[in-house]
Amino acid sequence: MSEALSPVQRSQFVAHKFGGSSLANAERIRDVARILCARTDPRQIVVVSAMQGVTDALIQLVNAAAQRDQAWRSALEGLKQKHLVCAETLLGQSAESARQFLYAEFADLHDVLHAAALLGTPAKEAMDLVQGLGEVWSSFLLTEYLKSQNESVARLDARDVLLVRAEEMGVMVEWPKSQARFDAWLADTSARRIIVTGFVARDLQARATTLGRNGSDYSGAIFGALTRAQEIHIWTDVIGVLSADPRLVPEAVLVPEMSYHEACELAYFGAKVIHPQTMAPAIDQQIPIIIRSTFEPNHPGTRITAGRSMNPPVKGVAAASGMAILNVEGAGMIGVPGTAERVFGALREAGVSVVMISQGSSEHSICAVVRESDADTAQRAIAEEFLRELDRGAIQAVNVMRDISVLAVVGDGMAGLPGTAARMFDHLGSGRVNVRAIAQGASERNISVAIDTADVHRALRAVHAGFYLSAQTISVGIVGPGNVGAALVNQIAAASESLKQRTGLDLRVRAIAGSNRVLKSDLGLDLSAWQKAYTEAPRDGVDLDAFADYVHSSHLPHAVIVDCSASNSVAEHYSKWLAAGIHVITPNKNAGSGPLSRYQAIMQGAKNSGARFRYEATVGAGLPVVSTLRDLLDTGDDIESIEGMFSGTLAFLFNRFDGSAPFSELVKEARALGYTEPDPRDDLDGKDVARKLVILARELGLKLELGDVDVGSLVPKPLAAGSADDFMAKVSELDADMTARLAAARAEDKVLRFVAKLDKSGKASVGLTALPRTHAFANAQLTDNVVQYRTRRYSKNPLVVQGPGAGPEVTAAGVFADLLRVASYLGARV
């Protein structure tokens, strides 16, 4: 071909190619004409495919006739009627010439098919001739319609000018001869629009042939090159090139521009772009290719050029399935020259195409990804080539792993950008996708990995989101839609749209489970009306294993279960969920303060899988109590002691208890305000505070059980039994003791506070304590939680964390913050 032309040297032509879906019927053909007529191109060369489904129908006709299946006659008639109806709908009273043309065409086709039936075999020449007729008919119909609209138009049968030859790499154009023929044909017409049959050509023996499947797109590029077009527009049924297959990644986005090289890489892996062969003529002459939608003609689509767009660095993520890994392994390969040559030579001789290659620097193994349909052939070829080495043990095995997919990350901007591969593998890891083999070319434009096909959906979505091509989607399941759970759902609902827009985070609440019912939606629940939908859900009971399986969907990369219940039985599931890779977030204190063996199993499950277990709200509701302690430990500080007021209820009671009203009246008030548990003894007995202290002790590495905490309960033994109502009826029995304690504290100019204490040796206690009025706890606000860390760094002046520690909104906010921390770990920009 000629050298690349500058824009000044280009002709006035703009090339357009329309696919079969764009020409499916008369209405679609009218749309194509409207698109062409609405444009201001000086001249147009328009390449068209057959009407949708026609090429396949023609191939079936030839095969049926060759098999002497008489059904070919009725199928031929049906195809003829399809085109006649289209002509009459399109042209109305002007359809007579089109009818005559089609009658003649189908009569000739009948004769060819009859001959194939007599021969009993589908001759290649007959197949090449017949399968290209759809383009002949569609180009005629479009031309006739444009003529009926008084447009300047001419029709070109590509077989009159385009000469090709078949080679091992595919159909190749005879450019000098084709150019000369086309130039001669073009000299005889001044029509503004030239309608060309796609897909068809002639070989050097002047026989009708085709350019193969995807040949119509190839024709578009060929005639774009023959006319030295300004641009080539490929009109199809998608708006352009997407960053991933939308069937696998619904969040895929349009890529507005990309380079030829990027388009070729994505196309190889099955991305709905354009076949690499199609781009060759355009690449040779540096003609921009624009992928556009016939159904949205005003959309700019995707522009493919020689230029390299570095932003974003990754343009797309694609996957090819139906692969297998062939692995040749043996110590006898190390340092032996020519081993790789023998491997790939044997595969070449067997006709096996290699999709991907990976070899460790130790040379102990070579693995190649091949199509699964070629796997047995490849394995036999290698086994025969290395028969002697296998016999003497120099090569230990020639293995095949099936059900493999190759995932590729493509982008010119990856070249020279540190951390691209790291980010890819980080997101594959966090999505729990195991990588079988890795390959990256020196151009750094493509990083490919072989993975199990079962993981391909999750891998695509994890990597796609990881490179900020779409929102980072997290499947969320919530257990316990009570006060805290309901507040959390409402907070997520209020923040979700802002999070998606600002940070690219899609928190998709897909399931909510209570004690006896589950509400779920694969696309995500409507959080604006979830409570009504939940109350209307059937009471079918709750299977937490099935619930977890639903949340941990295979097509979503990440799953989180938030347990907002206070259930001990739900906490029993944590270790299993974490081991399966499900992140767990909870304000439920049973896991952190329950049996030590269960706690250790939970932490081990998280460690083994990499899933996150977050429980900030178990101690201080929305306060950063656990995270502050974790920061101190992670930065190397030594904890001397921890003291805290961990109950907003008890803080309220003793901030108010000044002797002006009996203690029992304050308990009743707190209960009426919703500050206490339904049974106030759950606050007064100190066990809830003790649980929080155990959680902090275990964070320090202390093997503390709840029974190891010295708990000073405020509930006398006679009042410990019976119902909550029974207790409230006798609550005044607390007054004498509490009044005496208050008087004793005042005598020392102190105040009463319910305090938890832990030292570094593991000594733990919870109870009512008299504190000086200068103590930090003495001046806390009404329902504040206060925690005081005395450490090596903060020895003289302890570190204090203080703030509201009670209420569903505050607790839910703490849980929500943990959820966002997990999202950040998974790659969301929060």
Catalytic residues: 692
Strands (E), 602-694: 613-614, 639-645
| 183 sits in which H/E element | helix 175-187
Is the separation of the CB atoms in 332 and 393 below 8 Å? yes
Q: Which residues of 746-764 are buried (b: 16+ CB within 10 A; e: fewer)?
A: eeeebbbbbbbbbbeeeeb
**Spatial separation of the C-alpha atoms in residues 639 and 629, rounded to whole Å:** 9
Q: How far lies 560's CA from each of 8, 142, 407, 551, 812, in Å? A: 58, 55, 25, 8, 15
Degrees to nearest 5, angle at CA 348 with 342 and 352: 120
Residue 545 exposed, middle or buried by CB count within 10 Å (0-12, 13-18, 19+): exposed
**Spatial separation of the C-alpha atoms in residues 740 and 743, rounded to whole Å:** 5
Is the separation of the CB atoms in 19 and 216 below 8 Å? yes
Q: How far lies 641's CA from each of 48, 696, 766, 771, 797, in Å? A: 80, 11, 14, 17, 13
| 279 sits in which H/E element | helix 276-285
Place of tokens 């199990």: 452
**Spatial separation of the C-alpha atoms in residues 143 and 137, rounded to whole Å:** 10
Q: Which residues of 554-565 are buried (b: 16+ CB within 10 A; e: fewer)?
A: eebbbbbbbbbb
Is the separation of the CB atoms in 223 and 282 below 8 Å? no
Instruction: Return the number of other C-beta atoms located less than 10 Å from residue 468's C-beta.
Output: 17
Tell me the backbone φ, ψ of residue 518, rounded to 5 degrees: -130, 135
Is the separation of the CB atoms in 479 and 560 below 8 Å? no
Tell me the backbone φ, ψ of residue 394, rounded to 5 degrees: -65, -35
Is the separation of the CB atoms in 469 and 244 below 8 Å? yes
β-strand partners of 18: 48, 235
Is the separation of the CB atoms in 309 and 258 below 8 Å? yes
Quick one: which of 112, 51, 121 has its CA closest to 82?
51
Q: How far lies 192's CA from each of 150, 197, 217, 273, in Å? A: 12, 17, 21, 29
Residue 821 exposed, middle or buried by CB count within 10 Å (0-12, 13-18, 19+): middle
- The percent helix, strand, coil of the chain (3-state, each to 5) is 45, 20, 30
Tell me the backbone φ, ψ of residue 798, rounded to 5 degrees: -60, 155
N- to C-terminal Cα separation, the chain? 52
- Distance between alpha carbon 808 and the CA centroid of its chain, in Å? 33
Beta strands 232-236 and 289-293 are parallel
Strands (E), 464-531: 472-479, 505-513, 518-520
**Spatial separation of the C-alpha atoms in residues 546 and 201, rounded to whole Å:** 58
| 585 sits in which H/E element | strand 583-585
